[in-house]
Homo-oligomer: A and B are copies of this chain.
Amino acid sequence: MKQHRYEQIAKALGERITSGAVPVGDSLPTEAALCKKYRVSRYTAREALRQLREAGLITRRPRSGSTVTASSINSAFSLPVSSAADLFRYASDTRFVIGKRERIKAAGEALAVLGCRRGQEWIKLSGVRRKPGIATPVCLISVYLNMALAGLEKRIPCSAGVIYPLVEKELGVRIAWIDQKIEAVPLSPANAAALACKPGCGLRVRRYYYDATERLLEVSDSLHASGGFAYEMRLRRD
């Protein structure tokens, strides 16, 4: 069985990662360096790196090169999320009631959420999530959309369900993964008032939606009152 050139290279690099020779956080050689080392064209080197990226071992960014992000590709437990309703369990029967639609330049709070370069333009939708028929909102929520989605923000109804399928449809791309970050934060009196609860603790859930090319397309930032809300999941062994 002949192995293709790019597979050989991917295998060699992959082994250096899984063996720990190149630890998480370190960089692989640049495309140009790989071309030279293995005497191949850039196409072949890129194909090898693409395999590693699809395996989740590295991320790639212009000027930064290929950075190792994981040292293994096996999985013993998994959280199967079969539908939008599962992923956003609480959101499955709630509506995003949009209060404000604007274009912003990343700064201050938004900059902290997005983690992008200062001044980069984004679309921001903010409002609350509500359960139909219930007065107190489920959470405060801001959704940031990449400017590649310019125009979409006007076509989202003022009471929407889950947003990311709209993003996929708009660009004809596929969300390849979601990074999720959950944190406890103090509730400001203003936020507490908006959530109709006492000031104190809140649970902040931020989700980052990426396509296969590692492009960040959407970020959601939601704030729940503590007490009424817990984030639950079930991890199954494969």
Contacts and interface: CB of A to CB of B under 8 A. Distances in A.
Identical copies of this chain, number? 2
Contacts of A1: 146-148, 150
Contacts of A230: 181-183
A177 B10 contact: no
A82 B73 CA distance: 7
B78 A181 contact: no
Interface string A70-84: 001111111111111
Interface stretch (A26-34, A101-109, A130-138, A168-176): A168-176
Contact of A83 (B72, B147, B185): B72
Given A56-B236, A237-B175, A226 B84 contact: no
B172 A7 contact: yes
A180 interface: yes
A82 to B, nearest CB: 5
A201 interface: yes
Contacts of A14: 172
Given A79-B81, A147-B1, A234 B201 contact: no
Contacts of A236: 56, 176-177
A20 interface: no
A178 interface: yes
Interface of A: 1, 3, 7, 10-12, 14-15, 51, 54-56, 72-84, 87, 146-148, 150, 165, 168, 171-186, 200-203, 212, 224, 226, 229-237
